[in-house]
Amino acid sequence: MAQYSLKLDGVFQALADPTRRAVVGRLGTGPASIGELAAPFEMALPSFMKHIRYLENTGWISTHKTGRVRTCTLERKSFDVIETWLSGQRSIWDGRTDRLGRFVTINAMETSE
């Protein structure tokens, strides 16, 4: 549970940055090299690499080196982690809505008696 919580911390933290979100978006169209990914950003390569490593450490991307080229691939399972969290929140609300619904129904019945 603590490990899952730490994983969620990282998954969300990774998305709290515009450069990292842009990289995730670009990799949604298919794998790309570090050079291709860095091209649109006015950023020194070491700074850009920090973002790549952060995305890799938090499970958003995997990287693979062939010769001198490192290729990055999106790991879609991180989206599942978010979806699972979101659907957990939705069931909390639905539970609440159900209870509210029952409350309204019961009160309506009592009033009509």
CB of 69 to its own copies, least distance (A): 21
How far is the CA of 107 from the CAs of 14, 21, 93, 104, 110, in angstroms?
A: 47, 48, 21, 5, 5
Residues 82-101 that bind its own copies (CB under 8 A): 82-83, 85-86, 88-89, 92-93, 95-96
Q: Which of 3, 18, 42, 110 binds its own copies (CB under 8 A)?
A: 18
Cα 10 from Cα 5, distance rounded (Å): 9
Label residue 74 exposed, middle or buried (CB < 10 Å: 0-12, 13-18, 19+): buried
List residues binding its own copies (CB under 8 A).
5, 8-10, 12-13, 15-18, 21, 24-25, 28-30, 76, 79, 82-83, 85-86, 88-89, 92-93, 95-96
